[in-house]
Structure 1
């Protein structure tokens, strides 16, 4: 029973990052696929580990799963370092981004080698049984009470490697078939008391002195008036070896279950616990199963199961209850609050039912994994993503805005102008530009210093921004020059905004640490409409020429280009 249970619980977990083409796995999965702990692996590298006879079928299953957005399950043979093959059942599920493109795939791997070998052994056994039945599988011999052999069957001859003429007519002492000749004397004494012997374990020797363990059954028979022994001996040497091997394997498996970090719970189909390893006991706050074959539900008061929302989980939705209903599930997330604990711990449960060779359900098997570290990592990733988004936004602003004034910088305002001119050409509207320059700004810097000059630039930028529409664009073209872009605004409209800006600047004082400074501003206006489309470079040149004309005509004024 433990063998079936371990087959069901023997699970490895893997994750394939499709973006970086990297496959990661846990320790058990690495053992199944024969990877080193430090080995980096691509999907193509993973495929190379698969037997060539199975490789294309596995790749088709994986690619089909990603295309169809369905889970896949496939059996495959994995080539081991020593040249042997291990049978593995792989299951996987793809994950996709918002546009439906696959980004990763996760799944489990389960060692089914023993199951496959058992199936093959069963087929071989059926063939052997048919032949063995015809050939009398047990050893038969007839001997006198004194120990002379009268007859033997072919099975005995082949088992002990004698010819018929070497045995028939010989005595027990001459051949030495009995490992301990005194055993035959005890056998006769039992026969004389009880009249029969059934399944007495004795050791025999073949002609080469090799030991054979046999289950011996003997009866007294009379042949031609002579009392004889009819002995049937069944060779159980391999069976004994197998039992010893199974016991050794069972002890090893129990040691493995006790050593792994994942919890393993095995119950019969009535829910009575058969095995619960140390990790599972600790996860539930239990020291031990108090009484053999108790159900986990009887420990309800020792711990509490909560769903991801923190609500108590009804008994019918407990992982073991689901497994007993023959549901198979992977990564069933749930929280366990041990008795006396303040905070619950998150776990992922996997559940299945183990079957015997005839397909009959035998055991319910659960594995559980503590995902506290994973949850903490997820929270850290969310926090980090928020920080990165904020940094990205900050970098975006720095890349497109002037650090001093907060206006669009030179490169971005030119890019905006190109975009607005293209849009205006599509919808048949006008775009106007205003080139503005602070009058006698050099004198401000020379008289009050550059810190005051910077403050003049900042406050002038604010006044310009406050005197245009919300969808207009204002950028620092360079030095004390500002470029304004006015979508859906013709020559008359642009002149009106330019005058509003000029008068707004002219009527106010700019307060700095050095002094209250009065400045004026000159502005040049140009436009691009349906009757004369201009590119950005030409439009800026025309605005700049109009600005120059405003400077030449006395400053603190607005001039419009003649177009």
Structure 2
């Protein structure tokens, strides 16, 4: 009587669980599937028996061979595989597969499969949301470049790399000439348009690995990794010329821009810290503002 109750108990679990259960042999033949498997794979027992393992697993999934080896070595395996429904659609299944022997010492495999498609979608959405939050923490909302906090972090990292690898490092600090007058004359909305155009022009003038951030107000700091002093001057001049081409329309008025920039070079052999380096390039930039539309340099 006890065995009868136990057998009925396991039969109840087999037929009513929401996870797919497959009774197979190690060679890939499927002998029996529960109701959840029929629904999940859109197949009957006859379909499973006819198609076998190769008929329900995506042949492009490279995890299968690894998982089969691990199951053979350990007697069980857990992981994820891409499965194929009868209509050809695919889904990600989280599986647990174990080897066992029956009373005749024949080897069988029990495979439990859970469709994790929805949870994977949720994971992706959470990751996207976290990425957006990260962007908000590090990106200046108006111009789309790094904010001051992220910029200082990156500059510190590049100074450390410069010391470690004996690589050159240059800085450019620049701002918009007469930006206060633009704001006072045309309003802050126009001022925001000017800032966006200014940042966009700088970004388009830089190389992919250069680091640009809004240092504050209309000041933008550029970190130039692996860049010597002469190359930094060339880059600053290119930026200055491109900024001079900017035109921001305000009604019938076309606002033309110019910039003042300071350039300095970081000597990896020096004891100069980050604050000292920024103070130095800040002083050099303000020297250039005395003339406007100009570049001042200092090593």
Q: 1:310 to 1:526 in 2, by over 3 A?
A: same
Contact kept in structure 1, 2:163 and 2:269, CA below 8 Å: no
Matches within 5 A, 1:91-102: none
Change (3 A) 1:309 1:519: same
**Conserved? CA contact 2:159–2:268, under 8 Å:** no
Task: Quickly say closer, same or farther: Cα 1:453–1:349, change in 2 above 3 A.
Answer: closer
More helix by share: 2
The number of equivalent residue pairs is 253
Q: 1:262 aligned to 6, 14, 20, which one? A: 14
Secondary structure of the structure 2 residue equivalent to 1:389: helix
* Alpha-carbon distance, 1:415 to partner: 1.1
Q: Is the 8 A contact 1:502 1:521 kept in 2?
A: yes
- Give the greater-gyration-radius structure (CA): 1
Give distance in 1, aligned partners of 2:34 and 2:281: 79
Deviation string, structure 1 residues 6-29 (Cα, Å, up to 9, x no partner): 65x4xxxxxxxxxxxxxxxxxxxx
Match of 1:304, SS state, is helix
CA distance 1:310–1:513, shift in 2 (3 Å): farther
Instruction: Report the 3-state secondary structure (helix = DSSP H, G, I; strand = E; otherwise coil) of the residue aligned with 1:492.
Output: helix
**1:394 Cα deviation after fit:** 1.9
In the alignment, structure 1 residue 558 sits paired with structure 2 residue 295: yes
**TM superposition shift of 1:495:** 2.0
Asked if 1:464 is matched to 2:202, the reply is yes
Equivalent residue number for residue 431 of structure 1: 169
| 1:508-519 alignment, distance < 5 Å | 508-511=246-249, 515-519=253-257
Give the CA deviation at 1:368: 9.5
Moved over 6 A (4+): 279-285, 328-331, 346-354, 365-369
| Structure number with higher relative contact order (C-alpha < 8 Å, ≥ 6 residues apart) | 2
Deviations 1:379-434 (A, max 9, x none): 11111111122222222222211111111110111111111111111222321111
Q: Following the alignment from structure 1 to structure 2, what is the Cα–Cα distance between the partners of residues 453 and 501?
A: 20
The TM-score normalised by the length of structure 2 is 0.68
Query: 1:101-140 residue pairs with structure 2 within 5 A?
Result: none
SS of structure 2 residue aligned to 1:543: helix
Contact 1:263–1:283 (CA under 8 A) maintained in structure 2: no
Report whether the alignment pairs 1:304 with 2:47.
Answer: yes
- Within 2, Cα distance between the matches of 1:557 and 1:430? 24
Asked if 2 retains the 8 angstrom alpha-carbon contact of 1:432 and 1:486, the reply is: yes
1:20-419 correspondence runs (5 A): 260-263=12-15, 303-305=46-48, 306-307=51-52, 310=55, 374-375=114-115, 378-419=116-157
Cα pair 2:77 2:97 within 8 Å, conserved? yes
CA distance in 2, matches of 1:442, 1:531: 39
Q: CA deviation at 1:304?
A: 2.7
206, 216, 220: which one pairs with 1:478? 216
- For residues 96-135 of structure 1, give each alpha carbon's deviation from its aligned partner in whole angstroms, at most 9, with x where no partner exists: xxxxxxxxxxxxxxxxxxxxxxxxxxxxxxxxxxxxxxxx
Gaps of 5+ in 1: 10-253, 265-278, 286-300, 313-327, 356-360
Distance in 2, matches of 1:342 and 1:466, equals: 48
The question of 1:545 aligning with 2:287 is answered no
The whole-number CA distance in structure 2 between the counterparts of 1:424 and 1:536 is: 12
Change (3 A) 1:348 1:529: closer
- Within 2, Cα distance between the matches of 1:395 and 1:282? 39
CA positional deviation for 1:485:
0.8
- 2:231 equivalent in structure 1: 493
For 1:366 and 1:522, locate their aligned partners in 2 and report how far apart those are by CA, in whole Å.
73
CA drift at 1:450: 1.3
Task: Assess, with a 3 A threshold, how the Cα gap between structure 1 residues 348 and 431 changes in structure 2: closer, same or farther.
Answer: closer
| Contact 1:434-1:484 at 8 Å conserved across structures | yes
Aligned partners of 1:540 and 1:388: how far apart in 2? 37
2:190 is equivalent to residue 449 of structure 1: no
Measure, in 2, the Cα distance between the counterparts of 1:500 and 1:367: 67
Q: Does the 8 Å contact 1:437/1:480 carry over to 2?
A: yes
Matched residue SS, 1:484:
strand
| Matches of 2:209 and 2:109, distance apart in 1 | 62
Structure 2 gap segments, 5+ residues each = 17-32, 58-74
What CA RMSD, in Å, does the superposition of the two structures yield over aligned residues? 4.3
Contact preservation (8 Å) 1:429, 1:529: no
Q: What is the alpha-carbon distance in structure 2 between the residues aligned to residue 439 and residue 284 of structure 1?
A: 71
User: How has the CA–CA distance of structure 1 residues 448 and 504 changed in structure 2, closer, same or farther, with 3 Å as cutoff?
Assistant: same
Please give the residue correspondences for 1:523-538 in structure 2 after superposition, counting only pairs within 5 Å.
Answer: 523-530=261-268, 532-538=270-276
